[in-house]
Structure 1
Amino acid sequence: MPGQQRTLTLRFLAEPADVNFGGKVHGGAVMKWIDLCAYGCAAGWSGKYCITAYVGGMHFVKPILVGSMVEVDAKVIYTGRTSMHLRIHVRAGDPKSTERELCTHCIAVMVAMDENGKPAQVPEWIPETEQDKRQHESAVKLMEMRNSIHEEMTTYLDAD
C-alpha cells in the first residue's frame, strides 16, 4: 500500500566481479547498489514505477572489501508532489559479525511515473520525530542549494 514503506535495506555479499584495479569494490558497483535501493524504496513508498532524477552529496568514506556483507539502506526524508528525497547509507563488514561500518552515503531524488511516462503524485510524508524533522529540513536546504548550483551550471551548458 502506497505511503507505508518508508525504508528499505538490501543485504548481500560483495562479489569478486565488483572489484576494481586496486582490489576493493569499484565505486561504480556501489553507485549501482545505491540506485537499486533508492528505486526499491521509492517504488515501495509511491506504489509506482520510479526514475532517478538526482544522486548527489556522495561521499566514499571507506572502501568495501570483496567478500564483505553489504547493507544499503534507503529512507524517505522528504516528499514533493511527484518526487521523493531519500537518505542512503552503505555499510559493510565481515559477514561473520553483525558490525557494519559506514562506507558511503548520499542523497537520491526519485520521481514517480504514471502509466504514460508522466510524473505522478506521491503520498505525502510528514516528519514526526525530531530526527525526521532535522532530515526533512536538511532535504529542503539541499534542494535549494541544488537549484542554485543548477542555475550556475547552465553557464556551462551553453553551446560554444
Structure 2
Amino acid sequence: MPNYIKVDNSRITISELMVPAHTNFSGKVHGGYILSLMDQIAFACASKHSKTYCVTASVDTVDFLNPIEVGELVTMKASVNYVGRTSMVVGIRVESENIQTGEKKHCNSSYFTMVAKDENGKSVEVPGLILNDKNEVKRYLKAIKRNETKRTRQAEFNDQNFSHHNYLDQLKDLKVKIELPDNFK
C-alpha cells in the first residue's frame, strides 16, 4: 500500500528581492528569470514530496499578468496539487510586493509537471496526497481536468487524419490572409 503525504508537508514558499541584474531591456524583471525561479521551486516542492530527485516534464500555461519592478519583493508559493504514479503537478503562485507601500500584485500562476527519478534516471512511484481542505480538493480536480484537456488536444493534433481543411473556416474573421497554391487546397 503506498504511503500518503499531506499537501502542507511539501508546500514551499520563497521570496527574493528583485535587483537591476534581473531586468530586461524595458527595465522590468525578465520573464526568463522568473521562469527559472519557478522551475527551482517546482523542483524543491516535488522533491520534498517524493523524497527523490525530480525533473520538469512540462509547464502548463505561464501567463504574465503584471510586470515585476526592480526593488519589489517576489514571493512564490508552491504546492503539490496532483499526483500520478510517478509524476506530480506543482501549482505555483507568483506575487510581487512593493516593500515601501505594501501593495501586492498577482504576477502569474502556473503548473509544472514534475517526474520523480531514481539514481539511475528511472521514473519512480511517488506518495499519494492527503487533501485537507476544499481548496486542495478543487486544485486536485482542476489538475485532472487540465490533464484531460491536454490529452484531448494532443490526440487531435497527433491524429493522422488532421487536415487544415477542417480549420480554414475558423480563420475567416482573423487577421490573416491565406494565399495557398492551387495544389495545396
- The TM-score with structure 1 as length reference comes to 0.89
Partner of 2:113 in structure 1?
Answer: 109
Partner of 1:3 in structure 2?
Answer: 5
Partner of 2:71 in structure 1?
Answer: 67
Partner of 1:147 in structure 2?
Answer: 151
Partner of 2:26 in structure 1?
Answer: 22
Amino acid at match of 1:122: V
Is it true that 1:31 corresponds to 2:35 in the alignment?
yes
TM-aligned CA distance change 1:18 to 1:153, over 3 Å: farther
TM-aligned CA distance change 1:155 to 1:24, over 3 Å: farther
Mind listing any 5+ residue stretches in structure 2 that lack a counterpart?
161-185
Is it true that 1:92 corresponds to 2:96 in the alignment?
yes
Q: CA deviation at 1:78?
A: 0.7
TM-aligned CA distance change 1:155 to 1:65, over 3 Å: farther
For residues 64 and 142 of structure 1, what CA distance do their matches in structure 2 show? 27
Q: CA deviation at 1:100?
A: 2.8
Q: CA RMSD in A?
A: 1.8
Is it true that 1:120 corresponds to 2:110 in the alignment?
no
User: Any idea what SS the aligned residue of 2:128 has?
Assistant: coil
Amino acid at match of 2:49: W
Q: CA deviation at 1:97?
A: 5.5
Q: Per-residue displacement from partner, 1:89-132 (whole Å, max 9, x unpaired)?
A: 11011234555321111111101101110111111003231111
For residues 107 and 129 of structure 2, what CA distance do their matches in structure 1 show? 27
For residues 159 and 67 of structure 2, what CA distance do their matches in structure 1 show? 35
Identity of aligned residues (%): 35
Mind listing any 5+ residue stretches in structure 1 that lack a counterpart?
none
For residues 43 and 118 of structure 1, what CA distance do their matches in structure 2 show? 15
- Whose Rg is larger? 2
Q: Per-residue displacement from partner, 1:37-80 (whole Å, max 9, x unpaired)?
A: 10011111111000001111211110000111010111111111
User: 2:5–2:130: 8 Å Cα contact kept in structure 1?
Assistant: no
Amino acid at match of 1:134: K
- The TM-score with structure 2 as length reference comes to 0.78
User: 2:13–2:77: 8 Å Cα contact kept in structure 1?
Assistant: yes
Amino acid at match of 1:47: K
| Aligned pair partner of 1:48 in 33, 48, 52 | 52
Moved more, 135-144 or 10-19: 10-19
What is the count of residue pairs matched by the alignment?
155
Q: CA deviation at 1:22?
A: 1.1
User: 1:56–1:108: 8 Å Cα contact kept in structure 2?
Assistant: yes
